Structure 1
Amino acid sequence: MERQFWNTRYSEHDFVYGKAPNQFFKQFIDTHKPGTILLPAEGEGRNSRYAASKGWRVDAFDFSEVATAKALKLTESLRPSINYWTQDIATFKATKRYDAVALIYVHLPQALRQVFHEEVFNALQSGGFLVFEAFAKEQVNMKSGGPKDLSLLYDAPSICSDFPFLHLLSCGQKEIELNEGEFHKGKATVLQLIGQRL
Structure 2
Amino acid sequence: MKQEFWNTRYIENASVYGQEPNHYFKQYIDKHKPGSILLPAEGEGRNAIYAASKGWLVDAFDFSEVAREKALLQATAKNVTINYWVQEIETYKAEKKYDAVALIYVHLPQALRSLFHEQIFKSLNSGGYLILEAFAKEQVEFDSGGPKDKQMLYDAPSICSDFPFLHLLSCGQKEIELNEGKFHKGKAAVLQLVGQKL
**Counterpart of 1:5?**
5
Q: What corresponds to 1:164 in structure 2?
A: 164
Secondary structure at the counterpart of residue 75 of structure 1: helix
- Which position in structure 2 is the counterpart of 1:153? 153
- Between the aligned partners of 2:86 and 2:74, the Cα distance in structure 1 is 15
SS at match of 2:173: strand
How big is the shift at 1:159? Answer: 1.0
- The one-letter code of the counterpart of 2:131 is V
1:192 aligns with 2:198: no
Equivalent in the alignment of 1:182: 182
- Taking structure 1 as the reference length, what is the TM-score of the superposition? 0.98
What does residue 109 of structure 1 align with? 109
1:170 partner amino acid? S
1:176 alignment partner, SS class:
strand
Q: Does 1:122 align with 2:122?
A: yes
Q: Which whole-Å deviations, capped at 9, do the CAs of 1:127-185 have from their partners, x for residues lacking one? A: 00000000000001211111111111111100111000000000010100100000000
Partner AA of 1:166 in structure 2: L
Secondary structure of 1:21's aligned partner: coil
Q: C-alpha distance in 1, partners of 2:155/2:48?
A: 26
2:71 is the alignment partner of 1:64: no
Q: Distance in 2 between matches of 1:141 and 1:11?
A: 29
Q: Which amino acid aligns with 1:38?
A: L
Letter in 2 for 1:126: S
1:108 aligned counterpart, secondary structure: coil
Q: Name the counterpart of 2:35.
A: 35
- Contact 1:141–1:148 at 8 Å: present in 2 too? no
**Structure 1 SS opposite 2:55:** coil
| 2:172 aligned partner, one-letter code | G
Q: Structure 2: how far apart are the matches of 1:160 and 1:66? A: 34
Q: Which residue of 2 aligns with 1:78?
A: 80
Q: What stretches of structure 2 of length at least 5 have no aligned partner?
A: none
**Aligned length, in residue pairs:** 196
Aligned partners of 1:17 and 1:183 also within 8 Å: yes
**Equivalent residues of 1:155, 1:191 under 8 A apart:** yes
Q: Which runs of 5+ in 1 are unaligned?
A: none
TM-fit CA distance, 1:108: 0.2
2-structure distance, mates of 1:131, 1:30: 13
